[in-house]
């Protein structure tokens, strides 16, 4: 039987690429469902932690926030995104012609 990888393994590998992770988070945010964004954020966090690409200090900061992830306030979301190497930005919506 051929070796198979799980969807989660493939997803976590893809999310190691900062552009892939950014696109994944943006797609989840555009969905408009807060739970979808939270799950995507957890996927990005787990992918980064599993590959140990975060410094120990960043992992400690994230570990403090994770239990509260379903009740993220703006300040915690900002901190969490900064620890992942991202920032929260407000941009005008593209005008459809």
User: Could you tell me the pTM of the whole model?
Assistant: 0.66
Nearest to 78 by CA among 94, 93, 91, 61: 61
Is pLDDT at 54 greater than 60 in this prediction? no
* 41-50, 67-76, 86-95: the lowest-pLDDT one: 67-76
Residues near 28 by beta carbon (within 8 Å), at least 6 away in sequence: 36, 37, 39, 40, 41
The 3-state DSSP class for residue 84 equals coil
Q: What is the pLDDT of residue 65?
A: 60
For 8-51, write each residue's pLDDT tens digit: 889 989 998 888 999 999 999 888 888 888 889 889 888 887 76
- All structural domains of the chain with their residue ranges: 7-83
Residue 68's φ and ψ, nearest 5 degrees, are -100, 10
Half-sphere exposure of 84 (CA within 13 A, CB side): 31
């Amino acid at each position: 039987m051929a070796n198979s990888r799980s969807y989660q393994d493939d997803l976590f590998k893809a999310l190691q690429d900062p552009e892939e992770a950014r696109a994944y988070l943006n797609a989840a945010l555009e969905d408009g469902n807060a739970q979808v964004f939270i799950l995507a954020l957890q996927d990005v966090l787990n992918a980064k932690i599993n590959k140990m690409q975060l410094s120990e200090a960043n992992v400690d900061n994230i570990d403090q926030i994770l239990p509260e992830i379903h009740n993220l306030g703006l300040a915690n979301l900002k901190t969490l995104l900064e620890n992942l190497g991202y920032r929260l930005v407000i941009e005008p919506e593209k005008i459809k012609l």
